[in-house]
Amino acid sequence: MATVNIAGKDIEVDEEGYLTNLADWNRDVAEYLAKEEKVDMTDAHWEVIDFLREYYDEYQIAPAIRVLTKAIGKKLGADKGNNKYLYELFPYGPAKQACKIGGLPKPTGCI
């Protein structure tokens, strides 16, 4: 178990860099995790992160990528609900990378 110091606060992460305690998440933490992932956060990134966090709040799981793209398409429009758009924002895998930045566990069904 590793600890990282973000804005003066020690925060536990697992061996892959996911937060151990979901309650530790805030915007500063997200910015830090994004930097680690070499993702430059824009409004478009935040939109996906916020969507994922709402999804998690509602269903208590992080969605698989196929489910994520479909759900985003429904809520934010077809131009955003596709792999190309999401991979442009999160090149190393939208589900994995966005979940990490969003302070959520790795998606169930991530195989």
Partner 1 sequence: MSEEMDMEEGGTIKKFMFVNRKAPYGTIYALESLEVVLISAAFEQDVSLAFVDDGVYQLMKGINTDGIEMKSFAKTYRALEGYDIEKLYVDRESMEARGISEDDLIVDVQVVSAAEMADLMNEQDVVLSF
Active site residues: 110
Give min distance, CB of 55 to partner 1, in A.
8
Query: Which span sits near partner 1 by CB under 8 A: 4-12, 27-35, 46-54, 61-69?
Result: 61-69
Integer angstrom CA distances of residue 26 from 4, 57, 79, 102: 14, 15, 28, 9
Q: What's the CA angle centered on 90, arms 107 and 97, to 5 degrees?
A: 35
**Rounded least distance, CB 63 to partner 1, Å:** 7
101 within 8 A of 49, measured Cβ to Cβ = yes
> Smallest gap, in angstroms, from Cβ of residue 74 to partner 1?
9
Q: Which residues are near partner 1 by CB under 8 A?
A: 58-61, 63-67, 70-71, 93, 95-96, 107-111
